């Protein structure tokens, strides 16, 4: 199975490149399943129902989120009726929405997607490792699911690496999100799980983490806010990860970064273009 994961989409610039490029990429790569992290899609803060539907119409199968999931208050309502939008799975019981789900890929495979959030330098939630363990115990790879994909939304690379090794051999992929900077440590772990510490940001990289530079620079220099953060406008780069799983085991056969745009060195998965 071929899976494309699109890293944190920031603002209109990020949304535009996804809507413009994803239909072409899905056809070019013959992708069976597409996941997108959309927690910064609405001006850099949260996601709206209209934006959520735009992503689904463009060819996204599942939208994951993170600590900004509730920045647009409407998300508390529409997430209950949109089962393809996930929120962090280690929120307290009773939180609207769900943090994991089973989905059908284009090739007919049953895919379990989990969306845990880390604890280091992040909101104080329940243990993400125990939350993942409960899901794996209830639905194992090759038993209840043909593929298991984990979007681990976390700040610390150590915590992300720990989750990778924790799930190694039991998940198809552990993809780190949140820091908006693509890392170069894409690999297949010893047990067969695809891993990367951060898939990167889909947005304008002539920015500070997708935000217009003036206000972040001002706060670093003066410690005094002058205005609101605003998502950077202009050309964007689509960043993410592509990986392929073995149809028999559900484990990863290949993994590669994906970068479409002019701001970073372009990369496409060679194993899908041969």
Locate tokens 């772990």: which residue?
A: 189
Q: What single-letter DSSP state applies at residue 269?
A: -
Locate tokens 């410690």: which residue?
A: 223
Q: What whole-number distance in Å separates Cα of residue 188 and Cα of residue 243?
A: 10
Quote the tokens at residue 156.
């610390």
Q: What whole-number distance in Å separates Cα of residue 172 and Cα of residue 192?
A: 7
Contact status, residue 165 vs residue 189, Cβ threshold 8 Å: yes
Q: What whole-number distance in Å separates Cα of residue 158 and Cα of residue 181?
A: 15
Active site residues: 68
> Given CA atoms 75, 164, 241, 11 in this order, what sign does their dihedral have?
positive
Q: What single-letter DSSP state applies at residue 40?
A: B
> Given CA atoms 12, 6, 38, 265 in this order, what sign does their dihedral have?
negative
Rounded to 10 degrees, what is the CA torsion of 174, 177, 181, 185?
-10
């Amino acid at each position: 199975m071929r899976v494309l994961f699109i890293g944190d989409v920031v603002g209109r610039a990020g949304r535009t490149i996804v809507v413009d490029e994803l239909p072409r990429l899905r056809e070019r790569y013959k992708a069976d399943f597409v996941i997108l992290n959309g927690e910064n899609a609405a001006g850099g803060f949260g996601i709206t129902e209209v934006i959520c539907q735009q992503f689904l119409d463009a060819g996204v199968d599942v939208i994951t989120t993170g600590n900004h999931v509730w920045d647009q208050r409407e998300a508390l309502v529409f997430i209950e009726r949109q089962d393809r939008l996930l929120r962090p799975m280690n929120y307290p019981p009773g939180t609207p929405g769900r943090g994991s789900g089973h989905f059908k890929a284009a090739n007919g495979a049953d895919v379990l997607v989990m969306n845990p959030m880390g604890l280091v330098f992040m909101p104080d939630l329940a243990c993400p490792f125990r939350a993942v363990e409960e899901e794996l115990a209830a639905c194992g790879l090759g038993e209840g699911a043909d593929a298991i994909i984990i979007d681990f939304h976390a700040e610390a690379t150590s915590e992300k690496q720990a989750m990778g090794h924790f799930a190694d051999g039991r998940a198809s992929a552990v993809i780190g999100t949140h820091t908006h900077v693509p890392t170069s440590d894409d690999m297949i772990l010893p047990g067969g799980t695809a891993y990367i510490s951060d898939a990167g940001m889909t947005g304008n990289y002539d920015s500070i983490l997708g935000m217009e530079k003036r206000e972040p620079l001002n706060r670093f220099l003066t410690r005094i806010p002058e205005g609101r953060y605003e998502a950077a406008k202009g050309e964007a780069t689509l960043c993410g990860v592509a990986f392929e799983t073995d149809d028999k085991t559900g484990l990863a056969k290949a993994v590669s970064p994906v970068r479409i745009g002019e701001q970073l060195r372009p990369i496409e998965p060679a194993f899908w273009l041969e």
